[in-house]
Structures are given as structure tokens and as C-alpha cells.
Amino acid sequence: MSHLMLCSINVCTKVTNMLFMFILKMTIEIHIIAVFMTSLVIIFTTEASLWDEQRLIHDLFQNYSKFSRPVVNRNDQVVVTFRAKLKQIIDLKDNEQLLQVILYTYQEWTNPLLTWNASLYGGTEEINVDASMVWVPDIVLYNSAEFTFSGGTHKYKTDVVIYWNGSTIWLAPAMFITVCHLDVRYFPFDDQKCPMKFGSWTHDETRLDMRILTNASSDDIYTEHGEWQLLGLEQKR
Ligand SMILES: *[C@@H]1O[C@H](CO)[C@@H](O)[C@H](O)[C@H]1NC(C)=O
Ligand SMILES: *[C@@H]1O[C@H](CO)[C@@H](O)[C@H](O)[C@H]1NC(C)=O
Ligand SMILES: *[C@@H]1O[C@H](CO)[C@@H](O)[C@H](O)[C@H]1NC(C)=O
Ligand SMILES: *[C@@H]1O[C@H](CO)[C@@H](O)[C@H](O)[C@H]1NC(C)=O
């Protein structure tokens, strides 16, 4: 420490930088070792079940078509439970009347065409697959205000999780832009309501029954906006 006090500002900076570099390098090395060890552990512990999972996916998708609705009888409804939580308000422009938000969407349904007996596959009870491999509901934002109509399902880039009994869960974060008619007569004491309407684009109620999870509070994930305060979130059908 004493020789640091004697040196010029430039030299001191150099010393500090070097020290920093050194720490960085150490961290990287440790990180690499850690990664290496983790992969070893994974190989040793999950070798058998990886094979089971591959066999399961092979068997499950051999005769499966994602283009058919997940029902046993043609007249059955698919019940989709939908929920959207507000993660963040990115922008609310009063001159353009546009609201830009990040939502965490949750969709759940049962696919009776994708079920299996877990004990025949080494106890594999759930699998994660790319959403493009299975039927997914086409629930979109109707009042989307994007140039390309992209209130649609390709917004969701995440995998779906399928359970042995066909229960399927699709969780995805996505950004949406919607038209919100702001009433600024009482500015700045204005409360604004911005409805976002979600629904299936091609299926009517006889084919797809959309239910909502009520009481889905966003408090646990919501990030405050500097200008706008979230007064509440209503979900209704
Ligand atoms: C898929 O269909 C073929 C031909 O109908 C059949 O032989 C095979 O057993 C089926 N596979 C599964 C996993 O059901
Ligand atoms: C699942 O497979 C196990 C082992 O073959 C069998 O004992 C069990 O009855 C099967 N369960 C169902 C629901 O088919
Ligand atoms: C399917 O199984 C999962 C986990 O085993 C369970 O959480 C879920 O409630 C089941 N779904 C149905 C429709 O029974
Ligand atoms: C939703 O929350 C309110 C207040 O906490 C409660 O009175 C109501 O029963 C809840 N509804 C459901 C469907 O859980």
C-alpha cells in the first residue's frame, strides 16, 4: 500500500488496472473449471435418463401431427387457461396513444394425443420441446398496434413443457404494443385504463374455450415505471 501512495497518478492507474485484470482472469479460470465439473456431473448422473427421454420423444412424435387440435373427439373443446402478468411498462406515449409493455404470458392446456406411461421411460414425467413441434393455441393480442401483425404466437420463443398426462404449459415473456386512448383532460391527475384484448385468432368458442386465471397479481414481478404508477390489473372474459 505504501508504494502506491508514492507513485504518480498514471502509474497508480496502471497498477490498479493490472490488479483488476488479474482478478478477472482468475475468475474466468475458476468459471471454466466450474463449467467443466458441472458437465462431468451431468454426464455421469443423467446418462440413462437422457436416453429414456430421446426414446420417449421418438415414440411420442412418431405418429403425431401438430396440425390437429388436441382432442379425442372432433367436437370436443380445447380448454386453454391463459394469464398475462405485467412485467414492465416500457412506454406510454400520450401523443401517439401507444402503450408498450412486457408481459409474462402463461398458457396451459391438455393434449390427450401426447401422453405416456412414465415408468416405461425411466420415470420421465415431463419433457421440454420446441413450441414448433406441437399444437399451440393461436391466442393473440387483438388490439395490437405493431406494423407487422405480431400479436401472434411467434412472439413466444420459449419451449413448452409437456407432462406424462398431456398437461402442457407454455410460459413466455413477450413485448406488446397496443393502442390506448388516453384521456388527458385531468392531467396530471389522470388515471388511464389500457385494455388489452387477447383471444384465439381462428378458433371460436366451440373449438377453443379460453379461461383466465383470476387473481393473477403482477406484484411479484412488476418493475415500477418512473412516470406511471400501476393502479391495478383487471382480467375478465
Ligand atoms: C405409428 O404408426 C405406425 C403405422 O401405423 C405403427 O406401426 C407404429 O406402431 C406407430 N407408433 C406408435 C409409437 O404408436
Ligand atoms: C405403466 O407401465 C407399468 C410397467 O409396464 C405397468 O405396470 C403399469 O400398469 C402401466 N400403467 C398404465 C397406466 O398403463
Ligand atoms: C398432470 O400431471 C402433473 C404432474 O404430475 C400435474 O401437476 C397436473 O395437475 C396433471 N394434470 C391433469 C390434467 O391431471
Ligand atoms: C380473489 O381475491 C379476492 C381478494 O383477495 C378474494 O376475495 C376472491 O375470493 C379471490 N377470487 C378467487 C377466484 O380466488
Tell me which residue has its CA closest to atom 14 in ligand 2.
Answer: 117
Question: CA 81 to CA 198: how far, in whole Å?
Answer: 12
User: Which of 59, 115, 116, 119 to mutate for ligand 2's pocket (most ligand atoms within 8 Å of CB)?
Assistant: 119
Q: Which residue has the cell 485484470?
A: 21
Question: CA 191 to CA 123: how far, in whole Å?
Answer: 53
pLDDT of residue 85: 83
Do the Cβ atoms of 171 and 104 come closer than 8 Å?
Answer: yes
Closest CA to 52 of 126, 109, 2: 126
Report the Cα 106 to chain-centroid distance in Å: 8
pLDDT of residue 192: 74
Burial class (CB in 10 A: 0-12, 13-18, 19+), 168: buried
pLDDT of residue 157: 80
pLDDT of residue 40: 41
CB distance 214 to ligand 4 below 6 Å: yes
Q: What is the pTM of this model?
A: 0.73
Ligand 2 centroid, distance to 120 Cα (angstroms): 7
Q: Which three cell numbers stand for residue 174?
A: 413477450
Ligand 1 centroid, distance to 103 Cα (angstroms): 40
CB distance 13 to ligand 4 below 6 Å: no
Q: Which three cell numbers stand for residue 143?
A: 388490439
Question: Which residue stretches of the chain have pLDDT < 70?
Answer: 1-49, 147-153, 184, 186-190, 214-217, 226-237
pLDDT of residue 166: 96
